[in-house]
Structure 1
Amino acid sequence: MHANDSDIDRLFEAVSKEGEALEALEDAVTQLKTAHAAKAVLARLDAPRLRQGILRRSGRLGGGHP
């Protein structure tokens, strides 16, 4: 490959962002694992308990319920 100075600068810039990208990916994977675990717990709740949680959350988000 024949790269000019500008190409080489761009390549080094891309390489320099690898650690940042890996950290962001690790954070995203952690968030996904947390979300999946939360879904599993919510799926095991009985209907009245789940409804209470939904109403509480709706109220906090401005849904008009207490």
Structure 2
Amino acid sequence: MTTVLVWLLVAAAVVVLLRHLARRDDRPAARPRTAEDLLAERFARGELDEPEYRARLEVLRERHLDRAG
């Protein structure tokens, strides 16, 4: 009886390990969310109307160009 329990625990540990490794390999590489991403999410949730969204997006893009140039 004890031997059966040991083998069941070993088998369960192998299954858990394999599932963990498979899940880790399938995940796409997460990229950091940008300010534009966050702004788009707020617009999608209805927190911003379209004119406000476009105005803020323009400000973000201008600042990005100022830093790049």
Larger Rg computed on CA atoms: 2
| TM-score where L is the length of structure 1 | 0.42
| TM-score where L is the length of structure 2 | 0.41
